[in-house]
Structure 1
Amino acid sequence: MREEAYPGSARLDELNGLAEEIARFLQRTRDDLSRVRLAMQALLDAVEQEGRRPSRGDLDGISESLQACLRDPNPPMDRLGVATAVDYLADSPYWMEWWGTDSRGNLEFVGHSLNPQRDNFYDYSARSWFSIPQDFGAAAVIGPYVDFGGINSYTYTVTISVPVVTARGFAGVAGADILADKFERFLSSGRHQEPVVLANADLRVIASNTSAHLPGDLLRAEDLASWTRLDLASDLFTPGKSWQLATPSP
């Protein structure tokens, strides 16, 4: 992890410990995505080996993998799903299977309008969480962004996604949605008395333990010049796109 503006060993140790906790949390998400990706690849490979194009019915088994991850104790993600490449399936140009949990912890299907003729059509192929894995063959970490959950209701969300590739090539994406307030729990545990901010590579605030920096706020590099900053879990991100933890130097 890159360190800037040494703040004293005690505070630096605290920040490193926090960074490791969040890194483990993110790794759990990546591990679950790998499980889903492998399950989807296996279903599609079996069909392709028969010499035909897959259809929606061939992916019926993927819901079991998604639900199994969400049933794990304290799953890192709030929603988990897959989406196929446009026109990959023989009977549907767009297809998604996305699951989450309700306020009581019960599994629920997350519906999306996938009819291009409808006003509320959800063109996931244009979203960065889908287009980056498709265009670059690499994982994407998108957000925080506002995910509207209904009238007068919204949440800041981070989406992590990975490409699904078969012998035919790019087949789709497996993705996980994490509500930003899950990261606030790490920062607001009471162990960190000084302000701590978790920001993405563009210095957009994901979470903090201070009302001075709210999720969605954009920080300026010059404002953080005197802060201690740590790159977070750089091995999980595209080079140069790591998240950062930052705290004022004493």
Structure 2
Amino acid sequence: MTEVFAWPAAAPAAAGIAAELERLCATVFAPLVALAEAAAAAIPADRAPLLADLGVVRPAAVAQLNRGDALVAGCGLIADPGLIADAPWHLAWWTAGADREIAPLRVVSDPARDGFRDYTVLEWWSVPRRTGRRHITGPYVDYLCTDAYTLTFTVPVRRADGSMAAVVGSDVYVARAERLLLPALRACGRPATVVNRAGRVVVSTLPEHVTGSLVRSFPAGWVRHDCGDVPFGVLVCG
């Protein structure tokens, strides 16, 4: 007797992809939460911190860049302007190149110089400051760090009074996330697309759904499953 394989129905297939996506995001957020707590503990209660007080950041960032899954392309801490006594604008960020060599990101930190960029207006900074919660920005082309489609994960670092002192974050290339997510999308046996809450495509098995493009609507019969704890939705053809 020949066994007939049936692909899972669209709704369970979408839920399965969403679960895999949430798992991937959790593996990025968990070490950032730990780093945020360590950075907060390193801020003295009786004075402004010095750069030397935040030595915990670099080894934690390097550990993420050396992950076995090679998912994280950049990691570090971005301080609230004026937080650090000897570095008023401080972006401590490390990146891993194609050869996996780790290097600090070189940025202009003097507002009076050409090339300075006010990072406090960028989404990955401003949303955690406004909401007090972790955030995922993207997919977007990160011209500051990666020059590639990127997801930036950020977690607020809190002062003793609860205000935001900094964010810690990790950059994830969409291409690397795609490598880990595509098996789940293909396993459902029908066209499937992951979008952010604005409808921008993260990864898809549908050729016309290119990473970064905007899906304004989808045909009748498609199923959408929104991920509960991360800002993404999964679209699966019914």
Query: Is TM-score (shorter-chain normalized) higher than 0.5?
Result: yes
Q: What is the SS of the residue equivalent to 1:154?
A: coil
**2:216 alignment counterpart:** 220
**1:143 alignment counterpart:** 138
Paired residues for 1:152-171 under 5 Å: 154-168=147-161, 169-171=163-165
Cα distance in 2 for residues equivalent to 1:130 and 1:211: 33
Identity of matched residues, %: 28
Q: What is the SS of the residue equivalent to 1:65?
A: helix
Pick one of 49, 59, 66 that aligns with 2:61.
66
Q: Contact 1:187 / 1:209 at 8 angstroms: preserved in 2?
A: no
**2:198 alignment counterpart:** 202
Q: Which amino acid aligns with 1:202?
A: A
Paired residues for 1:50-199 under 5 Å: 51-148=46-143, 154-168=147-161, 169-189=163-183, 190-199=186-195
Cα distance in 2 for residues equivalent to 1:13 and 1:140: 26
How big is the shift at 1:75?
A: 4.8
**1:22 alignment counterpart:** 21
Q: What is the SS of the residue equivalent to 2:88?
A: coil
Q: Which amino acid aligns with 1:179?
A: Y
Structure 1 portions without partners, runs of 5+: 1-7
Q: Which amino acid aligns with 2:22?
A: A
Cα distance in 1 for residues equivalent to 2:83 and 2:144: 29
Q: Closer, same or farther in 2 for the Cα pair 1:247/1:33, shift >3 Å?
A: same
Q: Which amino acid aligns with 2:166?
A: G
Superposition RMSD on alpha carbons, in Å?
Answer: 2.1
Cα distance in 2 for residues equivalent to 1:80 and 1:86: 19
How big is the shift at 1:67?
A: 1.2
Which deviates the most, 68-77 or 55-64? 68-77
Cα distance in 1 for residues equivalent to 2:57 and 2:160: 19
Cα distance in 1 for residues equivalent to 2:127 and 2:210: 27
How big is the shift at 1:225?
A: 4.2
Cα distance in 1 for residues equivalent to 2:47 and 2:31: 29
How big is the shift at 1:43?
A: 1.2
Q: Which amino acid aligns with 2:32?
A: L
**CA deviation vs aligned residue, 1:101-137 (integer Å, no higher than 9, x gap):** 1112232222222221222112111111111111221
How big is the shift at 1:97?
A: 1.0
Q: Contact 2:73 / 2:97 at 8 angstroms: preserved in 1?
A: no
Q: Which amino acid aligns with 2:59?
A: E
Q: Contact 2:223 / 2:236 at 8 angstroms: preserved in 1?
A: yes
Q: Contact 1:86 / 1:93 at 8 angstroms: preserved in 2?
A: yes
How big is the shift at 1:226?
A: 2.9
Q: Which amino acid aligns with 2:168?
A: A
Q: What is the SS of the residue equivalent to 2:190?
A: coil
The TM-score with structure 2 as length reference comes to 0.87
Q: Closer, same or farther in 2 for the Cα pair 1:149/1:43, shift >3 Å?
A: closer
How big is the shift at 1:141?
A: 1.5
Q: Contact 1:22 / 1:186 at 8 angstroms: preserved in 2?
A: no
